[in-house]
A and B are shown apart, each in its own frame.
Chain A
Amino acid sequence: MRIEERLYTLRYKKDEQPHLAIIDPNRCLKCAEVNGVPQPCIAVCPANVYAWINQKIIVSYENCVECGACRIACPFDNIMWKYPRYGLGIALRYG
Chain B
Amino acid sequence: MDFDVIVVGAGPAGSAAALTAAKGGAKVLLLERGPEPGSKNVSGAMVRLDYFTPTFDVSSIPIERKVKSVDLMFLSDNNRVRININVNANLANVGRLKLDKWMAQQAEKAGALLITKTTVLGVEKDYDKYKVITDRGDIRADRIVLAEGVNALVSIKANIRPDLNPDQAVQAVKEVYSLNKDEINRRFGFKADDEGTSWRILGTDPVPYAGFLYVYKDAVAIGVGVPMSILIKRKITPYTVLDEVKERLGFNELVKGSSLREYSAKVIPEYGFPSWRACSGKIYLAGDAIGLVDPLTFDGIGPAIASGTLAGKAALESYECNRYEAELLKDREVRKVVNSRPLVKELINEDNFKYYVRTVNELLHSWVYGDLSKVKLDVGRMLKHLLLGIGVLKS
Interface of A is mostly: loop
Taking the closest CB of chain A, its distance from the CB of B247, in whole angstroms, is 12
B74 interface residue per 8 A CB criterion? no
Do B263 and A6 touch across chains, with their CB atoms under 8 A apart? yes
B236 interface residue per 8 A CB criterion? yes
A92 interface residue per 8 A CB criterion? yes
B110 interface residue per 8 A CB criterion? no
Chain B contacts for A36, CB-based, 8 A: 235
Do A86 and B118 touch across chains, with their CB atoms under 8 A apart? yes
Taking the closest CB of chain A, its distance from the CB of B218, in whole angstroms, is 10
Chain B contacts for A46, CB-based, 8 A: 171, 173, 237-239, 263, 265
Whole-angstrom distance between the alpha carbons of A83 and B154 in the complex? 11
Do A9 and B117 touch across chains, with their CB atoms under 8 A apart? no
- Chain B contact-residue range equals 35 or more
Segment among B53-61, B123-131, B161-169 that sits at the interface with chain A: B161-169
Residue from the list B35, B136, B163, B173 in contact with A72, Cβ < 8 A: B163
Residue from the list B36, B43, B97, B231 in contact with A43, Cβ < 8 A: B231
A51 interface residue per 8 A CB criterion? no
B280 interface residue per 8 A CB criterion? no
Do A67 and B266 touch across chains, with their CB atoms under 8 A apart? yes
Taking the closest CB of chain A, its distance from the CB of B4, in whole angstroms, is 25
8 extra interface residue pairs, beta carbon distance < 8 Å, beyond A35-B232, A87-B117, A94-B45: A44-B166, A47-B265, A69-B267, A83-B119, A91-B35, A92-B39, A94-B216, A95-B97
For the complex of A and B, 4 pairs with smallest distance between CB atoms: A87-B117, A95-B96, A68-B151, A46-B265
